[in-house]
Amino acid sequence: MKVSVLVPFGADDSPAGKQRAKVWRHNIRRWDALRTQGLIDEVIVGVDRLFVPIGEVRAQMIEPRPFSVSRALNAAAAHARGDVFLMFGADHVPDPAVVGWAREEIKRHPWVRLYDHVLYASEAATHLIVDGPFGENLFKDAANWHRHPAPCPGVLAVTRSAWLAAGGMDERFAGWGYEDTEFLSRLSHAVPGGSMGPSGLPLRELFVPSNRDLRGENLTLFSKITTERGW
């Protein structure tokens, strides 16, 4: 079984973009360690080729185009060689225990939801973690993490055949928000027999500045899609 990790990523030269890049550099080291352990085979970073950062907008006097998680994930899947995909965000800290559990679960199900709650690192804790060698002692300090129950619909293990049967991500969604909920809904209808899991372990998420401006627009689209489908 070959396992490809799909990670959408886009950043610019703004302070927020530089923070995203710093967090990703930290997390890719952890993914590399999992690859060395034989838990994964490759990490594919999905790039949205239509993304136009604010800096380019100002410099070239062109219209901005927000980064699209959907386009980036589709691009990553197109380049992946694995027969199993693990879908993670660039700000998600990989956990070898969860990856090992997912490898076993995906043998019994065409897709598996991995988490049902998140531990968010504060901005201050994130800086300490990523600026240190790995900041392992900070991971053990509960004061640095805030628990939040969440369905985590976008963090999945999915076979390549299930991904293709569902049709990949819907690129009508702009930026991020609800594209993962829509995909899981479509996946569960297109490919029965999946597992809502979860592993029981927390998804650890480091702080990155984010733009939620498009979530309202995406919610409207998601509501329209589900109304048209009737499920």
Reported as a single tens digit per residue, the pLDDT across 24-40 is 999 999 999 999 999 99
pTM: 0.91
Measure the CA–CA gap between 220 and 34, rounded to whole angstroms. 38
Say which range, 15-19, 40-44, 57-61, 98-102, has the weakest mean pLDDT: 57-61
Say which range, 54-58, 64-68, 130-134, 215-219, has the weakest mean pLDDT: 54-58
Say which range, 39-48, 106-115, 119-128, has the weakest mean pLDDT: 119-128
Angle (CA) 79-83-89 rounded to 5° is: 60
Q: Name the most confidently modeled range: 16-25, 72-81, 143-152.
A: 72-81
pLDDT reading at 214 higher than 70: no
The whole-number pLDDT of residue 55 equals 52
pLDDT reading at 112 higher than 60: yes
pLDDT reading at 60 higher than 80: no
Positive or negative: CA dihedral 9, 87, 129, 26: negative
Strand order in the sheet with 42-46: 42-46, 3-8, 84-87, 156-159, 111-113
- The pLDDT of 125-138, averaged and rounded, is 75
Backbone φ and ψ of 218, nearest 5° = -70, -35
Is the model more confident about 199 or about 35? Answer: 35
Say which range, 23-27, 47-51, 58-62, 205-209, has the weakest mean pLDDT: 58-62
Domains contained in the chain, CATH given? 3-229 (3.90.550.10)
Q: Is 41 helix (H, G, I), strand (E, B) or coil?
A: coil
Give the pLDDT band of residue 111 (cuts 50, 70, 90).
Answer: very high
The whole-number pLDDT of residue 223 equals 94
Q: Which residues pair with 112 in a beta bridge?
A: 157, 195
